[in-house]
Structure 1
């Protein structure tokens, strides 16, 4: 049997009731192929800020563009309203100083977007992967965004995400001359207004994640 879950849904699963866990797995088993992604403009502007040393001009331009949009239905109206709120809140998020001090090169994601944890395929697909050169050494980092007004992640959930980004970059992306830097593996919750990097004690988070993957396999057939 194949088990599969996306990184943000795994974080959500880790702090959910059993009934919600089953709902999450049901969605993962049969994803809606016609589902339209939410808040695309807001996410693209946030990604642009991250790779331009914290320059907030893309945020201001994004807000103005959203304001000028005329929604054609309720979904577009909600998307517009929440996207504007997300961009305004993001302006207050304190990004790590390293993101402001160095110039970054964007790294292509490639075909492999997931890793396996205890027999479960976890889809990582970072929103941004970047490379920075410091004193002649090449370092990699990545960011995963979480934009959900009614579902803010706590620090532990965000640590799980940044831990998985670190593991993914090491296993899939990093070349022999590149080092993955924990401080640059970031999980960013826009509505929670917090950014968490991969922890020093990476093994504890990996142990927790493996335990949740065991639970995913147990609940998979009844979800």
Structure 2
């Protein structure tokens, strides 16, 4: 969720979904200032926790999302890695927990008419002068009996610790709502709120975009306009080691 690739547009101002939802969750001026600085001057990207688990989930979805038992091979591989590579044991065990939790959550839903995109999808979406990168871990397509197809998208949450799960209920809804908003201007197919989902793996819940959207979109627009106004005045942090062109 934190990726912010260059879409070929003017690189400023721009937010990832993670930046935007954090910005929406606080009215504290200094905290909002810090979020803009983080978005404007990204440091070197650390290795993502649960990176292997997320790749395995995306690979499973890209192959149709029908054979949940296929993830057992990934679990076996990670279990062997935990034994064979002591320095990577903790991360392997975390990924095992994530995959097991995903299998349990996925099995509670019906996906008979759903197909998934073979890769993650980046949706560039401009709001109030800010370019938002909405990254879908997979785009969803639902076939209907009349021959039509509707669409949606999945964003995977792998938040387990108490710190990571702060305001998780609000952020899950916000992300699902942004998926719907982005797809409305991106896809030629009609996006449906019930197909725009946050997969909260450790929370064992798939959260769909709410049908009511006007108030949320007004709040996002106001926040983006505020961030755009303050963007040029934000200086890099001490010891900044990221790309100089931002």
TM > 0.5 fold call:
yes
1:120 is the counterpart of 2:130: yes
Off by >6 Å, runs of 4+ in structure 1 = 107-110
Show CA shifts across 1:74-107 (max 9, x none): xx4443232122222223326774x522141526
Partner of 2:76: 64
Asked if 2 retains the 8 angstrom alpha-carbon contact of 1:142 and 1:186, the reply is yes
| Partners of 2:168 and 2:148 in 1: CA distance | 33
1:93 is the counterpart of 2:105: yes
| Partners of 1:116 and 1:5 in 2: CA distance | 10
Compute the displacement of 1:141 (Å).
1.2
1:7 is the counterpart of 2:17: yes
Match for residue 219 of structure 2 among 191, 202, 208: 208
Match for residue 48 of structure 2 among 37, 45, 50: 37
Partner of 2:242: none
Compute the displacement of 1:137 (Å).
0.7
Matches within 5 A, 1:89-168: 89-93=101-105, 97=109, 99-106=110-117, 113-135=123-145, 136-150=147-161, 151-152=164-165, 153-168=167-182
Show CA shifts across 1:127-174 (max 9, x none): 1013232121111111111223331253322121111111211212x2
Residues 107 and 47 (structure 1), Cα distance of their counterparts in 2 relative to 1, 3 Å cut = closer
1:46 is the counterpart of 2:57: yes
| Partners of 1:124 and 1:66 in 2: CA distance | 30
What's the RMSD between the two structures over aligned residues?
2.9
Show CA shifts across 1:17-44 (max 9, x none): 7354444333221223453333222112
Asked if 1 retains the 8 angstrom alpha-carbon contact of 2:141 and 2:152, the reply is yes
Residues 96 and 29 (structure 1), Cα distance of their counterparts in 2 relative to 1, 3 Å cut = farther
Residues 82 and 218 (structure 1), Cα distance of their counterparts in 2 relative to 1, 3 Å cut = farther
Match for residue 184 of structure 2 among 170, 185, 196: 170
Residues 20 and 82 (structure 1), Cα distance of their counterparts in 2 relative to 1, 3 Å cut = farther
Match for residue 25 of structure 1 among 30, 36, 40: 36
Gaps of 5+ in 1: none
**Structure of greater Rg:** 2
Provide TM-score, normalisation by structure 2.
0.73
Asked if 2 retains the 8 angstrom alpha-carbon contact of 1:48 and 1:58, the reply is no
Gaps of 5+ in 2: 1-10, 236-246
Provide TM-score, normalisation by structure 1.
0.80
- Between 1:14-23 and 1:116-125, the stretch displaced more is 14-23
| Partners of 1:43 and 1:90 in 2: CA distance | 10
How many aligned positions are there? 216
